[in-house]
Amino acid sequence: MEVIDQENLKKLYDLRNENVLKIVKEFVSICKPSKVTVITDLKEDIDYCRLRAIEIGEEIELATEGHTTHFDGFFSMSNHDQARDKEHTKVLVPRGHYRPPAINTIDREKGLEEILEIMEGCMEGHECIVRFFCLGPKNSKFSILALQLTDSFYVAHSEDLLYRSGYEEFKKLDGSNDFFYFIHSSGELIGDIPVTKNLDDRRIYIDFVENRVLSVNNQYAGNSLGLKKLALRLAIYKSNNEDWLTEHYFILGVHPKEKNRVSYFCGAFPSACGKTSTAMLPGQTIVGDDIAYLRVWEDGYAHAVNIERGIFGIIKDVNAKDDPVIFEALTTPRETIFSNILIVEELPYWIGDGRPIPEIGINYSGEWYKGKKDKNNKEIPHAHPNARYTIRMEELDNVDPNLHNPNGVPILGIFYGGRDSDTMPPILESLSWEHGVFLGASIESETTSATLGAEGVRNANPMSNLDFLVISLGKYLKNHLKFGTKLKFSPKVFATNYFLKNKDGKYLNGILDKLCWVIWSEGRTQNDFEAIKTPIGYIPKYLDLKTLFKQYLDKDYTEKDYVEQFSIRINNILEKLDRIEVIYKKEKDVPTFFWNIFNNQRISLKNLKKVYGMAEISPILLEK
């Protein structure tokens, strides 16, 4: 490898791992960079990535110390590099193997032939950076190591904010190939601010045979940072063939008033169902906001770690009123990368930031002015709706002290959030671990006015993981059941729905009411509250909620509110069961326990309707 000097070559040899050397040699030969630089855990190496990103124009320094912005490729509002490319993100499946119906797949041999041809010479004239990361805390049984080759310093800098460095961890592998690896190239670049040119040849291919992701002709972090959602698929495949779980979970520390304790919860919510707002509830602490690894621990609990140490978050609608913790972090000095926002006098502006929209500035389309349109006559907003911020989690005031605990945190409860306007109550607790798995498998999310197509259509999204499931749903559910039965103290499982409406279309939940649902759930894990048993799960008692609303929100919670929110809407729930049945009847090997719970719930609801002679039953009646 003539393009790598002796100093950098020594850094590779010091790892004492032939597998790393083989991968670097193979892809340097294919991609043909003009230079190879190896980054260790040393501060000067890591700083080099940020400084080079600014020097070559991939990032632009802003007025606030530590702030930079990055622009991804833009040709029009319908042709850009500013969101995940689902069409060209594919799993390479060997012939004869299971093909997940919910995600794109391609025959492995055909896919490799295609992408390796595109990658031939893709780094010509570029510097290739060799990176080493740790998915999860260092010195931890949870963690998986990751090797990354990229020719984007923006990608490398982003990874420094999002992941723990892993060069020294690689030395502990003792020559093993037990790591993921990611090859990325932005490909040919154009413009004074260099962006990917050949978006038609954008490819993101996931290969389980080699535990790797190959990604080319893109810069947007959702496509280029293999360690995030792309690695999620690799880890789901790995964990579900071993004895642990990889989930699309936040990890939240719940701190009830006057209790002097913290209880840790995980939570999975489809998009626009309240995941971020739950993870960032006032007075609570955050361990993670996106992806968690879970293992059975010696104390009998499930323990979880955040595989990341930072946040790659959607910045739209982050403002001082609704998101004070994040807004404060984004508007004060600290290392932060903004992407695809508007710059005016070296300050960033984004959609919904609570400030007046400037008339002119610089954004992803170049010189921007209000009313500017793309080549298809579509108006270009001042910031992209999918604009992002990247920041270290330690920069948030509400970060939990166990963020980097190698043993993770014990999980007492799991939230599964959905969105429906007329069916499920705001909070309920599962009847058992098995029923909790059923609740997670039954998540539905209504489409909103912000979604193309009809409003109010309910889409199933088991455990909020459907886009990333690379194994069969049947196997996935069996592994959840098996995982919980190994635990001495399996987590209590809760289902949330913040979007229930009355007959006039008005939301029955206030924005911050979720704090009371979360505190009630925490109390249930500690036996602080009794509950009412129903066919769909345990629901809160009125007087407990009345006390919590007064204590936490200084709000009068009326019995009328309670009855509206927690009445059992039998016909609507039966219709939901019908939809679930259609979906799962198409799946092979759905475990027996799932159908037992399904059938028992349907029978119990019909009996309840018969006993009371009505289709909507007040919780007051059920408590008597």
Name the pLDDT band for 450 (thresholds 50, 70, 90): very low
- The whole-angstrom separation of Cα 303 and Cα 511 is 30
3-class SS letters over 95-147: CCCCCCCCCCEEEHHHHHHHHHHHHCCCCCCCEEEEEEEEECCCCCCCCEEEE
3 state SS of 324: helix
421, exposed or middle or buried, with CB in 10 Å at 0-12, 13-18, 19+?
A: middle
Name the pLDDT band for 32 (thresholds 50, 70, 90): very high
Question: Are 454 and 480 within one domain?
Answer: yes
Question: Are 524 and 608 within one domain?
Answer: yes
Q: What is the mean pLDDT of residues 518-533?
A: 98
> How many CB atoms are closer than 10 A to CB 70?
28
Q: Is 289:311 a contact under the CB 8 Å cutoff?
A: yes
Q: What is the CATH number of the domain that holds 419?
A: 3.90.228.20
Instruction: For 132-186, write each residue's pLDDT tens digit.
Output: 999 999 999 999 999 999 999 999 999 999 999 999 999 999 999 999 999 999 9
Catalytic-residue membership of 49: no
- Does any domain span residue 67? no
Question: Are 566 and 533 within one domain?
Answer: yes
Task: Tokens for 465, please give them.
Answer: 């993981």
The CA-CA-CA angle for residues 23, 26, 27, to 5°, reads 85
The whole-number pLDDT of residue 260 equals 93
> How many CB atoms are closer than 10 A to CB 578?
10
- Does any domain span residue 1? no
Nearest to 148 by CA among 214, 239, 50: 214
Percent of the chain with pLDDT over 90: 90
- Does any domain span residue 72? no
Please enumerate in sequence order all residues whose Cβ is within 8 A of that of 596, keeping only pairs 6 or more positions apart, or say none. none
Task: Tokens for 329, please give them.
Answer: 């972090």
Classify residue 151 by its DSSP letter: S
Identify the H or E element spanning 170: helix 167-171
User: Which of 364, 379, 395 marks a domain boundary?
Assistant: 395
Task: Tokens for 82, please give them.
Answer: 């500013």
**β-sheet bridge partners, residue 493:** 414
Q: What is the mean pLDDT of residues 400-406?
A: 98
Please enumerate in sequence order all residues whose Cβ is within 8 A of that of 216, keeping only pairs 6 or more positions apart, or say none. 115, 118, 119, 122, 184, 185, 187, 201, 202, 203
- The whole-angstrom separation of Cα 382 and Cα 377 is 15
- The whole-angstrom separation of Cα 441 and Cα 435 is 10
Instruction: For 574-614, write each residue's pLDDT tens digit.
Output: 999 999 999 999 888 999 999 999 999 999 999 999 999 99
Q: What is the CATH number of the domain that holds 354?
A: 2.170.8.10
The whole-number pLDDT of residue 561 equals 96
Question: Are 280 and 332 within one domain?
Answer: no
pLDDT at 449 > cutoff 50: no
Question: Are 275 and 211 within one domain?
Answer: no
- The whole-angstrom separation of Cα 60 and Cα 80 is 20
Question: Are 35 and 172 within one domain?
Answer: yes
**β-sheet bridge partners, residue 90:** 205
- Does any domain span residue 584? yes
- The whole-angstrom separation of Cα 247 and Cα 238 is 12
User: Which residue, chain included where needed, has tokens 């059975």?
Assistant: 296
Please enumerate in sequence order all residues whose Cβ is within 8 A of that of 288, keeping only pairs 6 or more positions apart, or say none. 249, 250, 251, 279, 304, 305, 306, 307, 308, 393, 403
Name the pLDDT band for 81 (thresholds 50, 70, 90): very high
Report how many domains make up the chain: 3
The CA-CA-CA angle for residues 486, 491, 496, to 5°, reads 140
- Does any domain span residue 71? no
Question: Are 373 and 273 within one domain?
Answer: no
Q: Is 263:497 a contact under the CB 8 Å cutoff?
A: no
- Does any domain span residue 230? yes
> How many CB atoms are closer than 10 A to CB 55?
11
Q: What is the mean pLDDT of residues 241-250?
A: 95
Question: Are 385 and 468 within one domain?
Answer: no
CA diameter of the chain: 83
Which residue in the list 31, 266, 273, 516 is annotated as catalytic?
273
Helix orientation angle between 108-119 and 18-31, rounded to the nearest 10 degrees? 60
pTM over 0.75: yes
- The whole-angstrom separation of Cα 477 and Cα 587 is 12
- The whole-angstrom separation of Cα 236 and Cα 225 is 17
Q: Is 500:420 a contact under the CB 8 Å cutoff?
A: yes
- Does any domain span residue 411? yes
For residues 423-439, one letter each, b for 16 or more C-beta atoms within 10 angstroms of the residue's C-beta and e for the rest, the string is: bbbbbbbbbebbbbbbb
User: Which of 395, 422, 439 marks a domain boundary?
Assistant: 395
The CA-CA-CA angle for residues 54, 76, 389, to 5°, reads 40
The whole-number pLDDT of residue 448 equals 60
User: Which of 368, 395, 422 marks a domain boundary?
Assistant: 395
Question: Are 136 and 17 within one domain?
Answer: yes
Nearest to 329 by CA among 279, 403, 392, 283: 392
pLDDT at 451 > cutoff 50: no
**Residue 444 amino acid letter:** E
Question: Are 43 and 102 within one domain?
Answer: yes
Higher-confidence residue: 549 or 321? 549
Q: What is the CATH number of the domain that holds 48?
A: 3.40.449.10
Q: Is 135:180 a contact under the CB 8 Å cutoff?
A: yes
Higher-confidence residue: 323 or 562? 562
**β-sheet bridge partners, residue 388:** 314, 339
Question: Are 336 and 470 within one domain?
Answer: no
Alpha helices in 427-569 (DSSP H): 433-441, 473-485, 514-525, 542-553, 559-566
Task: Tokens for 238, please give them.
Answer: 């790995």
Question: Are 168 and 182 within one domain?
Answer: yes
Name the pLDDT band for 17 (thresholds 50, 70, 90): very high
Task: Tokens for 338, please give them.
Answer: 């903004």
- Does any domain span residue 77? no
Nearest to 164 by CA among 409, 392, 368: 392
Residue 343 belongs to domain spanning: 312-395
